[in-house]
Amino acid sequence: MDRPPPSASALAAALALASGLLLPYEATCQEGSSRGAIANLAVERFAVGEFQPTVLSGPSRPGEYLGAVGARAAWLGFETGEGEAWIHPLKVAREIRLAFKIPEYSDPIPGANVARWVEARPEAYTVAYSHGAFQVRQHVLAPRDLPGILLLLEVDAVVDLEIHVEFQPVMQYAWPGGMGGQYLYWDAENRAFVLSESLQQRNAVIGSPWATQASAHPAHRLAEAPSTFVVPVDRERAKREFIPIVITGGTAPRETVLGTYRALLEGAREIYEANRGWARELYESRLGLSGGSVLSVEDRTREDRPFSFARSLEWAKVNLEEQRVCNPDLGCGLVAGWGPSGTSLRPGFGWFFGGDAAINSLAMDVIGQWELVAEGLRFLARYQREDGKIPHEISQSAGTIPWFDAFPYAYYHADTTPFWMLALWSYWRASGDDPLLRELWPAFLRAFQWCLSVETDGDGIIENTTGGLGAIEVGGLGEGIHEDIYLAAVWMEALEGTAEMARRMGEERIATQARDLLLQASRTLNQRYWRPGEGHMAFGILRDGSTNDNLTAWPGTALSFGLVEEDRAEATLRQLASDVISSSWGARLLSTESELYDPLHYNNGAVWPFMTGFVGWAQYRYRRPWAGFPLLQALHALTFDFALGRHPENLSGAYYQTMDATVPHQFFASSMLVTPLVRGLLGWDPDAPEGRATLAPQPPPSWTSFSFHDLRVGESAIHFSLERRPGNAVASFSVEGPPVELTYIHPIPLGARNVRMEGSLDEGRGREIRGRHDQAHEVTLHLQEGLSVDLRFAWEGGLEVEPPAASLSLGDGSRGLRVLDFTMESTDWVLLLEGDGGESQTLTVLGEGVEAVGTGVSLSPGSEEEMIVRVDFPGSGRVQRTIRLRPARSPNPLR
């Protein structure tokens, strides 16, 4: 039976539950004579999944994560239907699962045995159970800001059916908190299990108005056997209604929790509509690719998964919204990731991490998720130590234990403090939020002073020795470390921000001090960290004054921020592009050629998507898109290949597969799809305090038509589209809001001639830039609301390169062609390539006709103006070859 959309008052009433954990029992669960018994509550069926632009689906896979999380509750489950429930800071129950009893079978059928299909959406996910006698669709949703989980069962059956709901009660704080005296009992009037403890200050409820019987339990403790309640299915009623299962709880009186239980049942449709409205708003009003098929050529990352980057970007936005957790003892902040805890009490990384929040803010700032970033910055400042150090991690149970005093974890990283400083600067540049800058400036100055206190050797760089951990937590790579390049890079970028914000605040002395320190740190980075014999930047400086010369992914941070001199950056990036670091699925933390390399080691060989993002962004920063785009494609593929819509924390360095301890829903892995896509490929750099921005796209040749909408800079939103064909391109711009001065840098193929621009501006304006790897045309636009600007570019000749996309199946090893360098010498294009010895491998070039110089290289026509270059790689193992292409003498060389 269909119902009209929820009224504004109904929706407001549902959302009002969020305040204070929640409406009192008397306001939500009055006497049965006035409100009716729980058994009479009906949740009429409504359409689930009408809003489809981000839906992902596939066969149910045992052991693969599928979760639904809100700000106050989380369901951390699997594609086969079972899960665990958290009402922060409490883990309520685990191994929550369904079984189905039909007359023909003596035992119930476990749900996992008949789970066939899953659908993931931002607002809810669905597990479809299929049997010859019944079909059940389990919709799981976590309200955006309410302490509860809703399971809505859509049931059709041709025989009598009972649904058995089974769970293992936990009723315990997140690690490392704890309590005792837990018990549960069946409340027949409310048709629910009540979980509590001896003081009755913490309570939870799991039940359904359809339930009729339940298992018995000891009076004063939790039973070792699972708890079960039974739902007999009225088949006629089930055609009209969902069978609801509600899980709720919190640090609240039992009557309040029971009131919330009823309110979740009564507001089920409104809660779902609120979730769907949130998803639609996020899709329509935040940065995105316009339309699901914005790319003229389907993404080639996976031959069997023709999803565009538009969809992976949408899921990254969803994931970054799902960082927000509101803890009744601590407040609202940003957590690091989610994953089932099993029999333990750690829900992945579902507690507050300062460094992760800062890393993710680099993506959230360009998406426009400023409210969340501001809230996260304030949260961390609230728990700043007296000496100015920003916390590294805060457990969900920190409000119940002496976390900041008795435990060593809160402040044991050095990088979190400068990264918080950097995050405030990035947020301020994107939003122009002067009031927040003024509010947090005292905390910022304390953080700055703490950083100065741990720079003791006069080289301008803060130290692991005095400050704490940076890049490495475990393993031989971190032995004897005094400074690491990751910590150095974050500190140096924070110094840049310190100088700029201090000037805004009228603190010229602080600005000068930061500038002087930055100059000293830059000399240290580019001299002491540079290893001419190895041809790359070192990992760090050791306590004895020598350097750790291992090739790692960590220089990607310094390179992303543009802190390394060009020649040294180029040499390092060539090595980072090699398969020794850049596998087919992302960047290994440590080179496969190091004696410390271990593909299963957390710090010494695993592939981390967050560092993949930094290395990819670094390649774009120095205008090496043919080395950056394969890493971006690898991040994109993660959206679809593992937990649907989610990105895992890390993967094996040897095979395309996650590791046993991997957190499946890790937010800095999601953010590092956005950051290299928007700040790297698109070259977006907002500067709201000055009312300006820069846009410098470096798309792959196959992206002949694409657009981005809602590029936010302060109160303005820029919309940009680009249409490209060999020899010409049209770039279009418009703005909503106040005027913006936009510096646009248009990419021109390397070696192009007779470059020209025309359009809404006077012809000939702007300037041509010639770089090591490409050319560009720079122009300054003064965008005003209501006026669109079209720029037309034309050129003759030139060449672009696009390496082949990796086509990976789970468990594959790393292989395939890499482009390590692409330059010109005289009239020749020179490519340094790496491939698999004993094989011939291909790449695509686009532009004027070319011919190969030397042997072992052949060319054949591709589509339109493409040329396919086939290169032989002799020998075995990974082999590097330099090839030359020059303008063809034939008048029609491509055909």
Tokens (6 digits) for 314: 């949408």
d(CA 176, CA 397): 7
d(CA 286, CA 404): 37
d(CA 791, CA 731): 5
| pLDDT over 90 at 848, yes or no | no
Confidence of residue 307 (pLDDT cuts 50, 70, 90): low
Confidence of residue 889 (pLDDT cuts 50, 70, 90): confident
- Which CATH number does the domain 686-798 belong to among 1.10.260.40, 1.10.10.60, 2.60.40.1180, 3.20.10.10? 2.60.40.1180
The string of DSSP letters for 24-60 reads -HHHHS--HHHH--GGG--EE--------TT-EEEE-
Pick the closest to residue 187 from 138, 246, 111, 101 (CA basis).
Answer: 246
Domain coordinates of the chain in residue numbers?
Answer: 8-281, 305-681, 686-798, 800-887
Scanning the structure block, which residue is given the tokens 């696009």? 802
Tokens (6 digits) for 864: 């339109």
Mean pLDDT value across residues 404-430 = 97
Q: Quote the pTM value.
A: 0.94
Q: Is the peptide bond between 22 and the residue preceding it cis, with omega within 30 degrees of 0?
A: yes
| pLDDT over 60 at 891, yes or no | no
Does residue 152 contact residue 41 with C-beta atoms inside 8 Å? no
Residue 895: per-residue pLDDT: 36
Does residue 460 contact residue 523 with C-beta atoms inside 8 Å? yes
Mean pLDDT value across residues 322-337 = 98
HSE-up (13 A, CA, CB side) for residue 667: 31
CA distances from 541 to 44, 265, 459, 776 (A): 65, 59, 11, 38
pLDDT digits (tens, 9 = 90+) for 602-659: 999 999 999 999 999 999 999 999 999 999 999 999 999 999 999 999 999 999 999 9
Range with lowest mean pLDDT among 135-139, 219-223, 743-747, 851-855:
219-223
pLDDT digits (tens, 9 = 90+) for 663-677: 999 999 999 999 999
477: Cβ contacts below 8 Å, ≥ 6 apart = 539, 548, 550, 552, 589, 590, 596, 603, 604
pLDDT digits (tens, 9 = 90+) for 89-132: 999 999 999 999 999 999 999 999 999 999 999 999 999 999 99
Question: At 513, phi and psi to the nearest 5?
Answer: -60, -45
pLDDT digits (tens, 9 = 90+) for 332-356: 999 999 999 999 999 999 999 999 9
pLDDT digits (tens, 9 = 90+) for 764-814: 478 889 999 999 999 999 999 999 999 999 999 999 999 988 889 999 999
Residue 892: per-residue pLDDT: 52
| pLDDT over 90 at 216, yes or no | no
As a CATH number, domain 305-681 is 1.50.10.10
d(CA 17, CA 271): 11
Percent of the chain past pLDDT 90, that is, above it, reads 86
pLDDT digits (tens, 9 = 90+) for 573-612: 999 999 999 999 999 999 999 999 999 999 999 999 999 9
Task: State the fold for domain 8-281.
Answer: Beta-galactosidase; Chain A, domain 5 (2.70.98)
pLDDT digits (tens, 9 = 90+) for 491-530: 999 999 999 999 999 999 999 999 999 999 999 999 999 9
